[in-house]
Amino acid sequence: MSQAYLLLDRAQIERLPERLFSLGITTLHSLYQSTAYGPLEEVGPVLVPVSPNSPLAHAFFQEWSATCGIWLESEAQEALVLEHLRSLIHVRVEADVTVLFRYHDPRITAVWLAPLAGGERDRLMGPVRLIRLPELDIQQETPDQQAARYAHEPWLFLSAEQLEHLGAAQRQRFAQQLIEHCQQYFCEYLQGLDSFALQQWASHCQHTAGRHGYSAIDEVLLWARFHAVLGSDFPDAPAHAVYRNLLAEPGVSPEQRLDNLNAELTRQQLTDKEFRQ
């Protein structure tokens, strides 16, 4: 008999254990537990059994299925499913480097598995018979695949071409997250932009943030405030000299520079508001 599971991204779902408990779920399996990544367990993926039409299933499809996890089905024992999924948490890349693999992001899952030949895809899925994603279902063509086991040396290898392909998907995901953030908090500055213009705006925002040494998502989300409020020519416009001076201030950490920029923008907005009144 087939059992359904959710593989959820604890890093993206705030207070996930508490949310699951409120939905009647008391057991969740961390994929990072008993691995070299145990210290990251609180931000790692978790596996949770789920029943169709349950409150958890409804919460998944309403809130999490687009970005925060994947729906799996398998006829194998739960321990085998968990072990196979755990074996995929890291991969080898060129130069024999090991990296974490966020395949539990549904956008990465689709880009990774969908283009593969059936036999290779079935091998990677192991005991998982079906993966349900927002825009497609990935079904095994040849069931009864063996489950892989986690080892400190990953068994899965990704080529440079595969990494570039997956990287493009991650950049697109980052851009979409940036757009959604700005539409929520700075919507008045983005009015009138169509989807293509929004993508261009997000790409330019990421580029200018990276040019000044900011690439982490929390850094770029804060940088987006300056782009939204001050314009896409930030910080190069003649009127932005004070911000350029803050960015170039010696002896200040990159994090403190961002805080100083944010404080200056808030000060200017308050000053402008008092002047108009």
Tens place of pLDDT per residue across the chain (277 aa): 899 999 999 988 989 999 999 999 988 999 999 999 999 999 899 999 999 999 999 999 999 998 899 999 999 999 999 999 999 999 999 888 999 999 999 988 988 998 888 899 999 999 999 999 988 999 999 888 999 999 999 999 998 888 887 877 777 777 888 888 888 888 888 888 888 888 888 888 888 888 888 877 788 889 999 988 999 899 999 999 999 999 999 888 888 999 999 999 999 888 876 666 5
Q: What is the pLDDT of residue 277?
A: 58
Helix (H, G, I), strand (E, B) or coil at 176: helix
What is the Cα–Cα distance from 133 to 169, expressed in whole angstroms?
15
Give dist(CA 176, CA 197) in Å, integer. 12
Q: What is the pLDDT of residue 47?
A: 97
The answer to whether residues 242 and 226 touch, using CB atoms and an 8 Å cutoff, is no
What pLDDT is recorded for position 162?
84
The rounded Cα 41 to chain-centroid distance in angstroms is: 16
The per-residue pLDDT for 19 is 93
